[in-house]
Chain A
């Protein structure tokens, strides 16, 4: 059983105490990526909310019925073009989209970490997760 990463001298059996510090240092990078992703999306959403409420705060909203034809904000490309013209609703949706991308970026980054460590078993595992996730995001119809 090979050990992870930098130390090739470790001859002892892989007890948790041996591997944990090295692993933990790389896992903190994952944590930083999540902080970055959530911060950016929160900032974009808050900007969108501010623009939206500035213009529409006293407008009446009704979501008691689902509107199937209200689909202009369902595709990433339209969200982006509308957001760039500072449409409040579109900026909010762009932030939400960035939030959805955060866990996917996290899986991709996990894959990179395992690649760098040459941990092929987990490279394979993370790759399967990433492929299924990407299929889900491009709207691969499961139903």
Chain B
């Protein structure tokens, strides 16, 4: 493939990945890696490095809009980041003692299950629900933009629940992402949606806010190993950035149900990608 063609194709793929990644809070790596490896024949190590850059671009590009519009819960994001980065260290330490293949298979099953449950939203908690002690201590309750029944924009208050449980799951998400390198965004959205009972758009945008930091944490190591190849990472970065900006514009208009469906599709992609790597021995 000529450089011009490869750059164009990578840019186009990253545009789509950035769009889907910004909407779902997953960063779009699960879309990009299979495209790069299976369609363009790029070595998995380059693909993983470039996808890391795509996640950072998507996260930073879309977060600017999401924060301004008031979707992102910055406090929840900063608090959960601690658990994720500490989990990532723990994961790296135990990586030598566990079977990555076994974990990947179990995790992909968990992903298929979570894709199924995401499509069945929990009933929203009534607004007068008694406040959660821990959540009050960390001042996590907030509000986010919605539309009133007659279509005018308004801010709706919500409460945050089950913080200790969510922190524990975030530790697990960090461990998993260090072990199998995929799916930490999925666990984040899932914990915020199902456990903390955040509105779905708050869950995806807050995950989007965090994943850039998680990815940047490991970028140094990937750079040293030579996995960040400029001819791949550069078009991916600008493409993902462009796609994320479009995604950020679409989010306020998209129905939550469709967002859940898109999320479920990406989660299934991630599960399939994990199994593919186990079978091909790329873990």
A-side residues, CB < 8 A to B, are 1, 4, 14-17, 19-20, 23-24, 27-28, 30-32, 34-35, 37-38, 41-42, 45-46, 48-49, 52-53, 56-68, 70-71, 73-75, 89-90, 92-93, 95-97, 99-104, 106-107, 110, 121-122, 125-126, 128-129, 132-133, 136-143
Contacts and interface: CB of A to CB of B under 8 A. Distances in A.
A111 B220 CA distance: 21
A103 B56 contact: yes
Contact of B143 (A16, A65, A96): A16
Interface of B: 1-4, 6-7, 40-43, 45-46, 53, 56-57, 59-61, 63-65, 67-68, 70, 72, 74-75, 78-79, 81-82, 85-86, 88-89, 92-93, 95, 136-139, 141-143, 155, 157-158, 178, 212-213, 215-221, 223-235, 237-238, 241
Contacts of A73: 226, 230
Given A34-B60, A58-B2, A104 B139 contact: no
26 contacts: A4-B139, A16-B141, A20-B155, A31-B65, A34-B63, A49-B234, A57-B4, A63-B41, A63-B42, A64-B43, A66-B227, A74-B223, A93-B233, A106-B60, A106-B213, A122-B78, A125-B79, A125-B81, A128-B82, A129-B82, A132-B85, A132-B217, A137-B220, A138-B220, A140-B220, A143-B221
Contacts of A99: 53, 56-57, 60, 237
Given A1-B136, A100-B223, A129-B85, 7 more contacts: A34-B61, A42-B238, A61-B231, A89-B231, A100-B220, A110-B78, A136-B220
A15 B7 CA distance: 50
A3 to B, nearest CB: 9
Name A's interface SS: helix
Contacts of B53: 96, 99-100
B234 A45 contact: yes
A138 B212 CA distance: 17
Name B's interface SS: helix
B67 A61 contact: no
Contacts of B233: 92-93, 96
A53 B78 contact: no
A8 to B, nearest CB: 16
B216 A93 contact: no
B235 A129 contact: no
Contacts of B226: 66-68, 70-71, 73-74
Contact of A102 (B56, B78, B139): B56
A74 B53 CA distance: 15
A77 to B, nearest CB: 12
A132 B89 contact: yes
B60 A102 contact: yes
Contacts of B229: 63
A102 B92 CA distance: 24
